[in-house]
Amino acid sequence: MSNRVYLCCTDFSTPPAEGDWHVFGERSGTEYEAAYCIPLYWLCLFGAEDIRMARTQDEEDEEARDYAYLVCERQAGLARLQARAAALQGPLGPERHALYLEWMARIAQESFSHVLVRTEELDAMDEEGQFQQELRTALNDLDAACSAALETGEFAISPALANLAGFPNPPELQHYEAFVLAGAANSNLRWPTPFALLEQKPAAADAGERPSSPWWKFW
C-alpha cells in the first residue's frame, strides 16, 4: 500500500463510493497529494469537529472497517486558514508564510462547496480507531498552538501534531521544503515551487558546529 493522502475542493461531503469516481472527478477541483502524513497547511483548514467516519470501499471484505477522514465547508475552512495566518507568520518566516498565503488563495479561487481529505490509506497503517484519536489530538493541539502563538509569538508543535504532519523531532518550520508543508498538486502546472536554497556558510565557519546530516535526512 502506498499510504497516500489526497485533498481536493469538491461538491462531495463524503469520500466517493466505488461507482462515483467519474462524477467525483467532474465535481472536484485540483487534487493535492501527500505521503504518510497530512501536511500542516492542509490541517490548518480543519478543526477536530471536522473528523468524519466512512467504511472502506469493499464492505463485503472481512477486513472492511470504519476509517476517519476530514471534510469541511470550503468557506469555513478558508475562514480558519485566514484566522491562523497571523499566528503562523512569525514561526514560518517570510518565504514559507508567502506559500501559506498562496495556499489560502488557491482554496479561495475554487468554486466547490467542501474541502475533503481522503485518508483511507493512512488510517490503514494503525489499528482501527487509533488514527481517529491521533487526528483529534493533533487538531486540538494545532488549535491550542495557534491561540498561544498569537499571545507569545511561539508556535509549540506537540508530538501528536508533528507526527501527523510528517515533521521530525524537534520540528523547525523554517527548515521544511514546500512539499512537506503543502503537499503537491496533481496537475500539469507544478505546485508548489521549491524554495530557493539558502546560501551556505563557508565550510571553515561551519566546521565543528554540528555533524553532517545523514543521507536520508532531506530537510
Q: Are strands 184-185 and 66-73 parallel, antiparallel or unpaired?
A: unpaired
| Residue 32, pLDDT above cutoff 80 | yes
86: Cα within 13 Å, side-chain hemisphere = 7
Among residues 113, 150, 116, 118, the alpha carbon closest in space to that of 131 is found at 118
Backbone phi and psi for residue 101, each to the nearest 5 degrees, phi listed first: -65, -35
Backbone phi and psi for residue 175, each to the nearest 5 degrees, phi listed first: -105, -5
Q: How confident is the model at residue 60 (pLDDT cuts 50, 70, 90)?
A: low
b/e per residue, 20-29, with b = 16+ CB within 10 A? eeeebeebbb
Residues with Cβ within 8 Å of residue 115, at least 6 apart in sequence: 7, 8, 9, 10, 45, 46, 70, 71, 72, 73, 74, 77, 107
pLDDT of residue 210: 38
The C-alpha atoms of residue 48 and residue 158 are separated, in whole angstroms, by 15
Side chain identity, residue 60 = E
pLDDT in tens, 161-219: 999 999 986 678 998 999 999 999 999 889 999 998 543 334 433 434 433 433 333 33
Q: Are strands 51-55 and 114-118 parallel, antiparallel or unpaired?
A: unpaired
pLDDT in tens, 134-151: 999 999 999 999 999 999
The C-alpha atoms of residue 93 and residue 198 are separated, in whole angstroms, by 13
pLDDT in tens, 73-119: 999 999 999 999 999 999 999 999 999 999 999 999 999 999 999 99
